[in-house]
Chain A
Amino acid sequence: MEDQKYILFESYLSKELSEDEIIAFESRLKNESDFNQAFNTYKELTSFLEHKHDNEVASTAFQNNLKTISNTYFENKETDKKVVRFKPWQYAMAASIVLLMGIFTFNNFSNPSFNDYNNYETISLTVRGEQEDLLKAAENAFNNKDFAEAEVVFGELLAKDDSNKELQLYRSITLLELDKFDEADSLFGRLSNSPSVYKNKAIWYLALSKLKQKNHDACLEILKTIPEDVDDYIQAQELIKKLD
């Protein structure tokens, strides 16, 4: 009896029943709750087994990758403590920048310029634990506003790992500082069109690049695409007001 039931399930799922048989089968599904439950579990298990085998390779790749990222993250949690100590200071700095900007915007009735906005927070590329010389050099050059040097080092770093979006962002800011607008804009454009946490930053800097090029119309257009929940939203809105 039970055996027949499972053979029937299989035939139904592989669409091998005649029209009449299907009608009879579906009416049993409706009217016999045990039959219905057994069928649902059978179907669920079939889908589970199918998927388990179809997806084995992708799933293993995912799990391995996840493990690596997880291990790195948790190993570095220890090192992160060092960074935490700097935090209050960073906040103070960020706060003072915001305050300064507030004062500037309050008193400043002239046209806004790129130099009002290029106060970068100190970047920190080596917090993840890998104390690489090259990363350190990039960090120092950028933080000391030695952009010519920074461009060289970012170039070298990206030659090794051209998919690193964080480095791409800092490289494009560096290019912007050096007035290499074409390269900078195309890099910002690419970053702002690909999903990453740097996407919105890239949009903001692309707008600043247009500002520096005195292309105020383009700058406005771009500023208006910055979503509300982004860090730079308020600054963007202020800039829009001044340019309009």
Chain B
Amino acid sequence: MSEKKIHEDQKYIDGLLKNNSFIIQAIYDKFAPKVINYIKQNSGNSDKAQDIIQDTLITIYNQASENKLQLTCPFDAYFFLLCKRKWLNELKKSSSKEVTINEDVLSKGDEAQELAFETSVFGEKQALFTEMFQKLGTACKDLLTATFKIKSMEEVAKSLGVTYAYARKKKSLCIGKLTELVRESPKFNRLNN
């Protein structure tokens, strides 16, 4: 498959990543009104729209900083689809009755749809990972936090008063435990399919 062409709107992604206030402001000025309208027309209000937009931008930021997000479609379409998806999930969560939505059929070749789908899966995985991390025992949480903050396993071992070999083994077992928690959750299986 040939390299996909990067859209010029990549500047918005790069701007978010650099925490460029000017770009963030421009995103609000240009793209927020459409989202706000949509949410207001679909049982939401301005406050809800504010939350959805903010969460969406954080998800985009996280994805961009963790695994290089490359925009191959206009930011407008991508951003709107993401906000819309997030809002519909929100509605499903909060209302017991079935929400009727025109489910977006994922048509192949539709860059915006595919990209928005990837990003929203990324966001949901992050939320799930964070939730499962909290379920670990204190010992594991402490060890993992120390490991990824300090980097050098020797120093981690020293700071926790254990041997290097033990700290290393413990690290794999703790991530192993986390792997199991994640894989056992129904949500993860849904996301991976």
Is there an interface contact between B19 and A74, defined as CB atoms closer than 8 Å? Answer: no
Of all chain B residues, the one with the shortest Cβ separation from A38 is: B179
Chain A contact-residue range equals 35 or more
Alpha-carbon distance A3/B21, docked complex (angstroms): 47
Cross-chain contact B148 with A50 (CB below 8 angstroms)? yes
Q: Does A165 sit at the interface, judged by CB under 8 A?
A: yes
> Contacting B21 at CB < 8 Å: which of A51, A53, A69?
A69
Per-residue A-contact encoding for B117-156, CB less than 8 Å = 1, 0 else: 0000000011001000100000000001100110000000
A45–B188 CA distance with the chains assembled, in angstroms: 13
Query: In the complex, which residues of chain B have a beta carbon less than 8 angstroms from the beta carbon of A55?
Result: 65-66
In the assembled complex, the Cα of A189 lies from the Cα of B191 at a distance in Å of 49
Among B44-98, those with CB < 8 Å from A are: 46, 50, 53-54, 57-58, 61-62, 65-67
Indicate which residue in A41, A53, A67 contacts B145 across the interface (CB closer than 8 Å). A53
Q: Does the CB pair B176–A42 fall under 8 Å?
A: yes
In the assembled complex, which residues on chain B have CB atoms less than 8 Å from the CB atom of A7?
169, 172-173
Give residues 31-65 of A contacting B (CB, 8 Å): 37-38, 41-42, 44-55, 58-59, 61-63, 65
Asked whether A10 lies within 8 Å of B183 as measured between CB atoms, the reply is no
- Determine which of B22, B58, B145 lies in contact with A66 in the assembled complex, contact meaning CB atoms within 8 Å: B58
Partner of B149, one of A42, A53, A59, A65: A53
A88 at the interface (CB under 8 A from B): no
Question: Which residues in chain A, 157-201, are within 8 Å of chain B measured between CB atoms?
Answer: 165, 195-197
Q: How far is the CB of A124 from chain B (nearest CB, A)?
A: 13
B176–A69 touching, CB < 8 Å? no
Q: Is B157 an interface residue (CB 8 A)?
A: no
Known interface pairs A48-B129, A51-B65, A55-B65; A69-B172 also in contact (CB < 8 Å)? no
Which A residues are CB-close (under 8 A) to B26? 196-197
CB distance from B165 to the nearest CB of A (A): 11
Within 8 A of B (CB), among A1-41: 2-3, 5-7, 9-10, 37-38, 41
Find out whether the CB atom of B28 lies under 8 angstroms from the CB atom of A59: no
Bound-complex Cα distance A2 to B175 (A): 12
A203 CB to closest chain B CB (Å) equals: 15
Known A-B contacts A67-B54, A73-B32, A165-B22; A52 and B172 likewise in contact (beta carbons under 8 Å): no
Residues of B near A9 (CB, < 8 A) are 172, 175-176
A79 within 8 A of B: no
Which of B19, B36, B126 has the largest count of A CB atoms less than 10 A from its CB? Answer: B19
Residue picked from A3, A49, A59, most chain B C-beta under 10 Å = A49
Determine whether the beta carbon of B171 is less than 8 Å from that of A10.
yes
Query: B148 to chain A: which residues have CB within 8 Å?
Result: 49-50, 52-54
Taken together as a complex, chains A and B put the C-alpha atoms of A49 and B149 apart, in Å, by 10
- Cα separation A51 to B169 with both chains bound (whole Å): 21
Q: Tell me if A242 counts as interface (CB < 8 A to partner B).
A: no
Contact B66 A47 (CB under 8 A): yes
Identity of the chain B residue whose Cβ is nearest the Cβ of A164 in the assembled complex: B22
Task: Report chain B residues within 8 Å CB of A3.
Answer: 173, 176
Given contacts A54-B148, A59-B61, A66-B57, 16 further A-B contacts (CB under 8 A): A2-B176, A3-B176, A6-B175, A6-B179, A10-B175, A42-B176, A47-B66, A49-B175, A51-B66, A53-B148, A55-B66, A62-B19, A65-B21, A73-B32, A195-B23, A197-B26
Q: Return 11 A-B CB contacts under 8 Å, by A number.
A: A9-B175, A42-B175, A49-B175, A51-B65, A52-B148, A59-B62, A62-B61, A66-B58, A70-B50, A70-B53, A196-B26
Interface residues of B (CB under 8 A from A): 11, 15-16, 19, 21-26, 28-29, 32, 36, 46, 50, 53-54, 57-58, 61-62, 65-67, 125-126, 129, 133, 144-145, 148-149, 168-169, 171-173, 175-176, 178-180, 182-183, 188
